[in-house]
Amino acid sequence: MLLEVREISVFYDSVRAIEHVSFYVNSGEIVSMIGPNGAGKSTALKAIFGLVKLQGGDILFRDESIKGLRPDELVFQGISLVPDGRRLFPSMTVLENLEIGAFLRKDKDIQNDIEKILELFPALKRRIKQKAGVLSTGEQQMLAFGRALMQKPKLLLADEPSVGLSPDYVATIFEKILEINKTGTSILLVEQNARMALEIAHRGYVFKIGTVFLEGTGKELLVNEDVKKVFWGD
Ligand SMILES: Nc1ncnc2c1ncn2[C@@H]1O[C@H](COP(=O)(O)OP(=O)(O)OP(=O)(O)O)[C@@H](O)[C@H]1O
Ligand SMILES: [Mg+2]
C-alpha cells in the first residue's frame, strides 16, 4: 500500500466535514473519489496534503505516518497536489510556472524533466514564453499538472481537474491522467465527472455526507445500482 488513510475526521469549527473516513491507494493505481457537493472529497485530499488538521485518525504513506507534516514536507516525501482552481501564477510564464514546481529540487535533471512534460503536453510547448494567465482553461489545467509533475511525485492528488473545461479538454485531461499513471505515478483523483473518473480508475470510493458510502473497482461502481441512481439518474 502506498497511501493508507485510517478513520480520519475533520471538522471546520463545529461542522463535521468528514468523519471516520478510510481509504487507500496501492502503488500504481488510479483511485477516484466521487460524491455529491459538500460530501467531503476535497477535505479528504486537503487532509492528506496537510492543509487541514485531523481531529482523529491517521494517514500513512509508505507505512509511515505523515500526520501533521506540512505541504512542502509532503512534496519532499513524494506527494503532490493539483489543487482545485489550478492556482497558477498568472503573470508568470508557462516556463516559470513549471520551474516553480521544481523549487525544492537540487538535482540536475530539471531541464530534462521540463522537456518530458512538454512532450506530454505539446500545447504548453507552443506557449512556453506566454503568461499563464492568457492560456485557455484547458491549457491552464495542463500547466497545473505539469507544475505538480515537476515535483516528481510518487502519488499525485488532483481535485476536480476537469471542472470548467470544454468537452475536448475534458477528454484530453483524462487521457493525460492515464498517461501519467502509465509512467508509474499513482493517482488519487476527485471528480464531478463520475462516469469518466470511474472508467479510468482501478478502484473508487463514493462519498456521501462526510463518509465513504461505497467502494469497489471502477467497473463495479460503474454498474452499481446506487451509483446509477445518484449520478446518472438511471
Ligand atoms: N473552509 C471551510 N469552512 C467551513 N466549512 C467548510 C470549509 N470547507 C468545506 N466546508 C464544509 O465541509 C463539508 C465538506 O466540504 P468539501 O469541500 O470537502 O466537499 P466536496 O465533496 O469537495 O464538495 P464539492 O463537490 O462541492 O467540491 C461541506 O459541508 C462544506 O460546506
Ligand atoms: Mg470539492
Residue range(s) defining the domain that contains residue 93 = 3-232
The CATH number of whichever domain residue 204 belongs to comes to 3.40.50.300
Residue nearest to atom 6 of ligand 1 (CA): 12
Is 197:161 a contact under the CB 8 Å cutoff? no
How remote is the CA of residue 69 from the centroid of ligand 2, in Å? 22
How remote is the CA of residue 37 from the centroid of ligand 2, in Å? 7
**Helices then strands, each counted (H, E), the chain:** 10, 10
Domain total of the chain: 1
| pLDDT tens digits for range 65-124 | 999 999 999 999 999 999 887 789 899 999 999 998 887 778 888 999 999 999 999 999
Stretch 196-221: mean pLDDT, rounded?
97
100-131 as b/e, with b when 16 or more CB fall inside 10 Å? ebbeeeeeeebeebbeebbebbebbeebeeeb
Characterize the bridge pairing of strands 30-34 and 186-190.
Answer: parallel
Residues surrounding ion ligand 2 at CB below 5 Å: 42
Number of Cα atoms under 13 Å in the Cβ half of residue 22: 5
Stretch 194-216: mean pLDDT, rounded?
97
Residue nearest to atom 27 of ligand 1 (CA): 37
34-71 as b/e, with b when 16 or more CB fall inside 10 Å? bbbeebbbbbbbbbbbbebebeebebbbeeeebbebee
DSSP one-letter string for 138-150: HHHHHHHHHHHHT
What is the structure's pLDDT at 59?
A: 98
What is the structure's pLDDT at 104?
A: 77
**207 CA closest ligand 1 atom index:** 21
- With a pLDDT cut of 90, the percent of the chain lying above it is 88
What DSSP element (H or E) covers 48?
helix 41-48
Phi–psi pair at 224, nearest 5 degrees: -70, 135
What is the structure's pLDDT at 231?
A: 84
Q: Which three cell numbers stand for residue 73?
A: 514536507
What's the whole-model pTM score? 0.95
**44 CA closest ligand 1 atom index:** 18
| pLDDT tens digits for range 118-154 | 999 999 999 999 999 999 999 999 999 999 999 999 9
Q: What angle do CA 188, 39, 51 make, to 5 degrees?
A: 55
What is the structure's pLDDT at 148?
A: 96
Residue nearest to atom 16 of ligand 1 (CA): 40
How remote is the CA of residue 14 from the centroid of ligand 1, in Å? 13
Is 176:146 a contact under the CB 8 Å cutoff? no
Residue nearest to atom 13 of ligand 1 (CA): 17
CB atoms within 10 A of CB 139: 21
- Return mean pLDDT, the chain: 95
**42 CA closest ligand 1 atom index:** 22
* Ligand in nearest proximity to the CA of 14: 1
Q: Can you tell me the distance from the alpha carbon of 210 to that of 41, in angstroms, rounded to the nearest whole number? A: 8
What is the structure's pLDDT at 230?
A: 84
| pLDDT tens digits for range 22-76 | 999 999 999 999 999 999 999 999 999 999 999 999 999 999 999 999 999 999 9
What is the structure's pLDDT at 234?
A: 58
How remote is the CA of residue 106 from the centroid of ligand 1, in Å? 36
| pLDDT tens digits for range 171-190 | 999 999 999 999 999 999 99
Is 121:145 a contact under the CB 8 Å cutoff? yes
Stretch 194-221: mean pLDDT, rounded?
97
What residues are in contact with ligand 1 under a 6 Å CB criterion? 12, 15, 17, 35, 37-43, 207
CA distances from 20 to 2, 59, 95, 215 (A): 20, 12, 41, 15
**13 CA closest ligand 1 atom index:** 4
What is the structure's pLDDT at 103?
A: 79
**192 CA closest ligand 1 atom index:** 25
